[in-house]
Structure 1
């Protein structure tokens, strides 16, 4: 029988191979044999790699209880706190490390980045303006760009006086030719003219803002009192999960499963930015397709379409590096306009995270959310849960392994689906080795569309295709491998490395 140290060594091997689940298994067996601060801290590191920051926090705290002088445990807990966006607690722990090990390079780097993030948040809170103002009202769309890169875009700006302030509404006449040229420009490491960039984000924001918090598509035609009502049923819908700035994989999605068209609707289920180093390109492609096919491309908000995540996981720094700080603020405002969920054919609820802490939540509760009330997603309530929660195999509910939100079991999914007359829930938010997973007795599907996530996970990507056959949608789960891309690592533009 292997000793605890033997099991730790096996865990270390799996950690180096980036097999984090296996590493956790070996460390757990070592802990069961002989609890040790080292084993707990090592398991915390494996959880950090999987972004299970809540579990990493628990393990680091257990390590500190066993040995209050074990500095590595304080550092791991600092990283876990930063992953949970609790920056002040993270800073306290990292300064504990530096008190006793002032030359620790990792702790020095983390302290520097934490101070930068905390100061930036403090500054942005101090200059926060009223909810009626819009960054788009101050954009000059007549600005000249030194080079239009061969792109032509018709931009129309109308102005209206609202409460003694001039508001600008932007309309863009998008074309297939423009989208094709834009893709080629991005492949050649080019950027859009700034005027085009501002206009595309502004015009897309108006379309998203006009949609309901619960978008309803693919609604079958029904009759009441002899008259037809509601939309024509959409014949084919492709649901994509997280794409996380992996532009070349998004292109592969369209190449493999077909382009957006009036006969083929796409739904991107959040987290299309951050992590990957082409988040700008992904966002501009999705927004441009929304302008070209407003009734055939939809986007749900994910937990990464938020300022606090963008500050840490790369999108803000990428936009600043490729364009301007002001453009990031434009994207931020557009994210605040994104719907939170989509109902397909009255039978499939699509949302980024998962279900709720309360069994009484209904589709009408989602419909009733005033998502424009807050500039950023709330840190509690059903909006937070729609972005952050995860499934678990056991019945009931449990604290989140992420440290944010919660976990919910098959019984929770069944109650919700039965109560709301749904066939199933489709969500994203988590890597799956096979690209997708059918869970909770078939009532829940997780789909993830960023293959070889962060160039390290070796997972497949997947989409869910819903094709109308007669009066019912037929489900098909299709997978794809990662596409080749230029040699630029994930988060290449990120200046706030907190992990």
Structure 2
């Protein structure tokens, strides 16, 4: 690739330097403060897009105020624009090298991007300035622990080591007499009755027996590892498929999708487009239900990998912590193995391409390129696999640096060229919160669908899913709103450094 994700962020930072200009006039100072006040009000109302607009207005009037950059950095963090957040934090530090919040923000952005050593360096700086700050000390210690853990994992990694699945001894696990929950058949097979009982059991906040959870994981791994990186299906005339976007551990909203749209079956196929886990605090329930349906209907229920079906994201945003809290670290390791076998894209009737993120940082990527991706790994920092999981569309032609700090943003011309080169009609992707649950862009040829309404209990967005019916394959959109759920906050299992309240 022409540039790594680090270079992408550095390019954006260089552009930001131009905004740090000479001291403003008294009139501009007053106007910039008024804009900052408006921005703060929108931020407190959780309207982060408007907050960013007015922080930007303040910065354009006075590019010498570290607070403006730091505040906008926090707003970018809340909207998952980690690349922009990193750049703004760095700008705040360049303006005032003693501005502690700038280091806090930059460390948080680096943590979100999986750049733990860089984050640790900033936390070390904070500790030097505030050696008695308990919060800073906690963050420093937590970050240092992660860096040491990563170093240890690299040291013991061995290419010929056995997988967790190979070492599992399911038969030795006993089902206790007092367990009254859903049970698999004696041969381990999954039935419709089991899935209905499982969904109800999880809805009552009860736990599936560990033996059955392991059996589901082992069965779904056997199915997934036989699949290509690019799945290809053909709908017959009159057949329809439902395409869902991000779920992010919002289990009760997943149940609502099945209530509104019907349970999966051979006559009611589904495609879930990545980011099943993290953030929401019922990620384990979501993924076990989805995996259960994949085993039950392997040829009519489809799952694609998202950027959150990865170790770094799971470590920071809650899934690893949730699995360890509800089961064991061994089970998380098995989930990690299974996630690596999830396909990266799906082509429907040779006309519609579905992926979690989007298109590519370079021209020339074809469907054959996707077919040839070795996906059984953690995603690299650049290349087609990274782009499929991370990129985003933009309204302007061409490509630009990613707001996330990973991959790129691509314009209508990029979409048009890719579709024409590969004989496709449109792409469907997810990866971004949309107020209406979906968005049609690039002249109708790039569609975003997001299925986690009121994302993280704070965004107020609708959820949506798409119906595609052959032969037309014209997308129709079904919107829905969030449903009530038990009183458990989002990010309950996330790493302490990523809790929204301490950014």
* Bigger RCO of structures 1 and 2 (CA < 8 A, at least 6 apart): 2
Written as runs of structure 1 = structure 2, the 5 A alignment for 1:309-324 is: 309-324=313-328
Question: Per-residue deviation at 1:57?
Answer: 1.3
Question: Per-residue deviation at 1:252?
Answer: 0.5
**1:493 counterpart residue number:** 493
Written as runs of structure 1 = structure 2, the 5 A alignment for 1:407-426 is: 407-426=409-428
Name the SS for the 1:463 alignment partner: strand
**1:159 counterpart residue number:** none
Tell me whether 1:17 sits opposite 2:48 in the alignment. no
Name the SS for the 1:356 alignment partner: coil
The whole-number CA distance in structure 2 between the counterparts of 1:266 and 1:292 is 13
**1:222 counterpart residue number:** none
Which sections of structure 1, spanning at least 5 residues, go unmatched?
157-171, 220-231
Q: 2:300 aligns with which of 296, 315, 321?
A: 296
The whole-number CA distance in structure 2 between the counterparts of 1:42 and 1:201 is 43
The whole-number CA distance in structure 2 between the counterparts of 1:440 and 1:204 is 36
The structure-2 alpha-carbon separation of the partners of 1:45 and 1:210, relative to structure 1 and needing over 3 Å to count, comes to: same
Deviations 1:379-400 (A, max 9, x none): 2210011001111111111111
**2:473 counterpart residue number:** 473
Count of residue correspondences: 468
The whole-number CA distance in structure 2 between the counterparts of 1:437 and 1:8 is 30
**2:388 counterpart residue number:** 386
Deviations 1:233-278 (A, max 9, x none): 6811000000001000000111111211111110000000111000
**1:272 counterpart residue number:** 276
Pick which of 242-251 and 126-135 moved more.
Answer: 126-135
The whole-number CA distance in structure 2 between the counterparts of 1:371 and 1:352 is 14
Question: Per-residue deviation at 1:126?
Answer: 2.4
CA RMSD of aligned residues (A): 1.5
Pick which of 435-444 and 31-40 moved more.
Answer: 31-40
- Tell me if structure 2 keeps the 8 A contact 1:148–1:192: no
Q: 2:329 aligns with which of 312, 325, 346?
A: 325
Tell me whether 1:145 sits opposite 2:161 in the alignment. no
The whole-number CA distance in structure 1 between the counterparts of 2:78 and 2:307 is 18
- Tell me if structure 2 keeps the 8 A contact 1:117–1:496: no
- Tell me if structure 2 keeps the 8 A contact 1:149–1:192: no
- Tell me if structure 2 keeps the 8 A contact 1:238–1:465: yes
**2:7 counterpart residue number:** none
Q: Identify the structure with the greater helix proportion.
A: 2
- Tell me if structure 2 keeps the 8 A contact 1:216–1:342: yes
Question: Per-residue deviation at 1:178?
Answer: 0.6
TM-score (norm: length of structure 2): 0.90
- Tell me if structure 2 keeps the 8 A contact 1:311–1:496: no
Written as runs of structure 1 = structure 2, the 5 A alignment for 1:441-480 is: 441-468=443-470, 471-480=471-480
The whole-number CA distance in structure 2 between the counterparts of 1:399 and 1:445 is 20
Name the SS for the 2:265 alignment partner: coil
Name the SS for the 1:154 alignment partner: coil
Written as runs of structure 1 = structure 2, the 5 A alignment for 1:169-248 is: 172-219=188-235, 232=236, 235-248=239-252
- Tell me if structure 1 keeps the 8 A contact 2:244–2:273: yes
Q: Identify the structure with the greater strand proportion.
A: 1
TM-score (norm: length of structure 1): 0.91
Tell me whether 1:346 sits opposite 2:350 in the alignment. yes
The whole-number CA distance in structure 1 between the counterparts of 2:308 and 2:59 is 34
Tell me whether 1:92 sits opposite 2:121 in the alignment. yes
Which sections of structure 2, spanning at least 5 residues, go unmatched?
1-26
The whole-number CA distance in structure 2 between the counterparts of 1:406 and 1:217 is 28
The whole-number CA distance in structure 2 between the counterparts of 1:131 and 1:250 is 38
Name the SS for the 2:284 alignment partner: helix
Q: 2:136 aligns with which of 107, 113, 131?
A: 107
The structure-2 alpha-carbon separation of the partners of 1:131 and 1:463, relative to structure 1 and needing over 3 Å to count, comes to: farther
The whole-number CA distance in structure 1 between the counterparts of 2:413 and 2:80 is 26
Question: Per-residue deviation at 1:155?
Answer: 5.7
Tell me whether 1:52 sits opposite 2:68 in the alignment. no
Question: Per-residue deviation at 1:206?
Answer: 0.9
The whole-number CA distance in structure 2 between the counterparts of 1:185 and 1:85 is 35
Question: Per-residue deviation at 1:132?
Answer: 6.3
The whole-number CA distance in structure 1 between the counterparts of 2:183 and 2:99 is 60
- Tell me if structure 2 keeps the 8 A contact 1:397–1:408: yes
Pick which of 101-110 and 441-450 moved more.
Answer: 101-110
Question: Per-residue deviation at 1:450?
Answer: 0.4
- Tell me if structure 1 keeps the 8 A contact 2:108–2:497: no
Name the SS for the 1:289 alignment partner: helix
The whole-number CA distance in structure 1 between the counterparts of 2:265 and 2:36 is 53
The whole-number CA distance in structure 2 between the counterparts of 1:114 and 1:302 is 25
Q: Kindly report structure 1 stretches of 4+ aligned residues shifted beyond 4 Å.
A: none
Deviations 1:32-70 (A, max 9, x none): 111211111111111111111111111111112211121
Name the SS for the 1:459 alignment partner: coil
Question: Per-residue deviation at 1:495?
Answer: 3.9
The whole-number CA distance in structure 1 between the counterparts of 2:314 and 2:207 is 20
- Tell me if structure 2 keeps the 8 A contact 1:438–1:446: yes
The structure-2 alpha-carbon separation of the partners of 1:192 and 1:183, relative to structure 1 and needing over 3 Å to count, comes to: same
- Tell me if structure 1 keeps the 8 A contact 2:112–2:313: no
Pick which of 145-154 and 356-365 moved more.
Answer: 145-154
The structure-2 alpha-carbon separation of the partners of 1:114 and 1:64, relative to structure 1 and needing over 3 Å to count, comes to: same
The whole-number CA distance in structure 2 between the counterparts of 1:355 and 1:324 is 37
**1:287 counterpart residue number:** 291
